[in-house]
Amino acid sequence: MRADLSSADLRRADFSGTNLAYANLSGANLEGAKFFEAKITFADLSRANLRGADLRKSDSTETNFAGADLSGAQITGVELFRADLSGANLRGANLTNANLRLTNVKGADFAGANLTTTVLRETDLEGVDLSGIDLTTTLLPKGWKS
């Protein structure tokens, strides 16, 4: 059975180490929640409030974050392979060592985000504004110019 926590108020909840694969958390208030080393693969977190959430070292493979607010979130070392971050707010988020390979980032806002050693290879960055972000150690798509 898949957990359905859509639109739930789960501010500051601690899901560290939890298996939330395929869970429905769309529209949930998860501000300041902890997902440290959690498995949230194939989960739906679209339009969720994840401001200041701790997603460090979580497995978010193919997770739907479309339209989610991830501003100020700790996304260090997160596996986001084939995830959907379209229209997501990632302002000031820390994505150090995150893998965004083949991730949908169309319309995502990365203003002030930390992309140190982030993998963006094979990710379509057309129309994504990464100006003002230090990309010297970021693994960018072949031929991409900042």
Do the domain assignments include residue 146?
A: no
Q: Give the lowest-confidence range in 25-34, 55-64, 88-97, 136-145.
A: 136-145
Q: Give the pLDDT band of residue 129 (cuts 50, 70, 90).
A: confident
State the total domains in the chain.
1
Do the domain assignments include residue 6?
A: yes
Specify the pLDDT at position 145. 64
Distance CA 137, CA 40 (A): 27
Do the domain assignments include residue 69?
A: yes
Do the domain assignments include residue 145?
A: no
User: Per-residue b/e over 100-129, b at no fewer than 16 CB within 10 Å?
Assistant: bbebbbbebbbeebbbbebbbeebebeebe
Residue 78, pLDDT > 60, answer: yes
Q: Find the domain containing 68 and state its range.
A: 1-140
Bigger pLDDT: 136 or 77? 77
Q: Give the pLDDT band of residue 103 (cuts 50, 70, 90).
A: very high
CATH code where residue 32 lies: 2.160.20.80
